[in-house]
């Protein structure tokens, strides 16, 4: 039996090497922002998770794709990827022209992208609104998940030009979710269930789709999944179930999930393993997602003397400064975009207190404490307002009076 598995493994390894040596495979090595997926040639051995549109680094993608297109000027797939990068950078004239050219040459993804241009009437205001449906129908029939998802959203909005046979696309979308190739389909399907109370009562489907959405790293999917579990009567093993799903979500780039897993370890017995694990996750959430609460706790861990963690006061103060500095994030969704400002007022308070009364006088800095409190007093928070007013910071005193 072992020999059989070894032979299979050797064949797969040989196939991998064979494909890797071909000219086309050298071009579409999937390690950059441009050639993000193995299309039109799909090889299961080397399949990578597709990057969602909102996760693309557009500037980097344009540089890489322009270079790739200069080398392979007749490749419709590279044209599509460059068109998509132009679109993300709001270079719509360039994106539309390249998407049109690539779609005519047979790129499924380009036709889906072109459908988006027609749907939103970005270039020609007089575009026939039915063109987007026709383009998406073709792309979906060829297996493009994004096109199928777009049709599903249109059908749920009950647009008058959606063909009758598309009005009931729930089964198709659920199948797309179950295939695992496009997690966003799980998320959109779950949100439609959430809006429909009759469908929501089919708890097994909602639980499945929200968990898949969460595991894929979609933050809103995690919120829906957690809300669902909180509403269940049977609370048995809830924390462990959440932990398993959130760990996968954290691994897929969801900083909020990393924060919650860090909290899980922080609440456990303080020992070497739990301390190191919690700190690593707090740092991950702080650096990758700029989550201010995670920065605050990472700072606290380095300032304290905990088993398994070497005390690092400068680094701890740096994390508290990050927590106290407003960070601005812009997240895109299929229904629009959302701007968010994140700052930990508690982190500002911790930083100010430490700078005013540190265990080592070397780190005492009244001006740094005032700076942190001035940041915090832009909003109303009793502890920072009170401490800031003692240091005669006008804005903090005004907040106290109010």
Mean pLDDT computed over 336-363:
87
Torsion, Cα 282 284 286 288, to 10 degrees, reads -160
CATH topology of domain 1-139: 1.25.40
pLDDT at 55 over 80: no
- Highest mean pLDDT out of 24-33, 63-72, 90-99, 149-158: 90-99
Other C-beta atoms lying within 10 Å of the C-beta of residue 212: 23
What are the beta bridge partners of residue 341? 328
C-alpha distance across the termini of the chain, in Å: 77
pLDDT at 319 over 90: yes
The domain spans of the chain are: 1-139, 169-253
Query: Which is more confidently placed, 34 or 305?
Result: 305
State how far the alpha carbon of 213 is from the alpha carbons of 49, 85, 224, 260, 288, in Å: 14, 24, 9, 17, 20
Query: Which is more confidently placed, 134 or 6?
Result: 134
Mean pLDDT computed over 195-200:
66
pLDDT at 271 over 80: yes
pLDDT at 167 over 70: no
pLDDT at 64 over 60: yes
Q: How far apart are CA 165 and CA 167, in angstroms?
A: 6
104-136 pLDDT, tens per residue? Answer: 998 888 888 888 888 888 876 655 667 888 888
């Amino acid at each position: 039996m072992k020999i059989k598995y070894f032979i299979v493994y050797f064949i797969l390894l040989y196939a991998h090497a064979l494909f890797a040596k071909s000219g086309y495979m050298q071009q579409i090595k999937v390690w950059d922002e441009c050639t993000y997926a193995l299309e039109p040639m799909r090889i299961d051995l080397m399949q990578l998770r597709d990057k969602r549109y909102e996760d693309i680094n557009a500037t980097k993608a344009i540089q890489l794709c322009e270079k790739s297109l200069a080398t392979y000027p007749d490749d419709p797939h590279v044209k599509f990827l460059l068109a998509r990068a132009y679109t993300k950078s709001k270079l719509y004239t360039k994106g539309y022209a390249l998407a049109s050219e690539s779609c005519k040459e047979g790129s499924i993804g380009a036709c889906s992208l072109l459908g988006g241009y027609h749907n939103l009437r970005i270039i020609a205001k007089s575009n026939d609104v039915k063109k987007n449906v026709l383009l998406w129908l073709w792309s979906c029939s060829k297996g493009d998940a994004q096109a199928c998802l777009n049709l599903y959203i249109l059908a749920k909005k009950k647009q008058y030009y959606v063909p009758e046979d598309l009005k009931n696309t729930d089964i198709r979308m659920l199948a797309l979710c179950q295939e695992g190739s496009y997690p966003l389909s799980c998320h959109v399907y779950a949100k439609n269930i959430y809006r429909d109370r009759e469908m929501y009562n089919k708890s097994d489907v909602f639980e499945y789709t929200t968990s898949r959405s969460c595991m894929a790293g979609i933050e809103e999917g995690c919120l829906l999944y957690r809300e669902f579990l909180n509403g269940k009567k049977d609370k048995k093993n809830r924390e462990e179930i959440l932990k398993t799903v959130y760990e996968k979500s954290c691994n897929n780039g969801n900083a909020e999930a990393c924060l919650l897993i860090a909290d899980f370890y922080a609440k456990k017995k303080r020992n070497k393993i739990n301390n190191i694990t919690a700190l690593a996750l707090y740092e991950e959430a702080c650096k990758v997602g700029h989550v201010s609460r995670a920065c605050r706790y990472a700072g606290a861990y380095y300032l304290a003397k905990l088993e398994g963690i070497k005390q690092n006061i400068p680094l701890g103060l740096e994390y508290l400064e990050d927590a106290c500095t407003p960070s601005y994030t812009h997240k895109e969704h299929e229904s629009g975009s959302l701007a968010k400002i994140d700052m930990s007022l508690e982190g500002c308070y911790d930083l100010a207190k430490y700078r005013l009364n540190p265990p080592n006088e070397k780190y005492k800095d009244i001006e740094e404490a005032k700076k942190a409190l001035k940041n915090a007093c832009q909003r109303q928070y009793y502890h920072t307002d009170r401490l800031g007013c003692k240091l005669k910071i006008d804005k903090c005193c005004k907040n106290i009076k109010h």
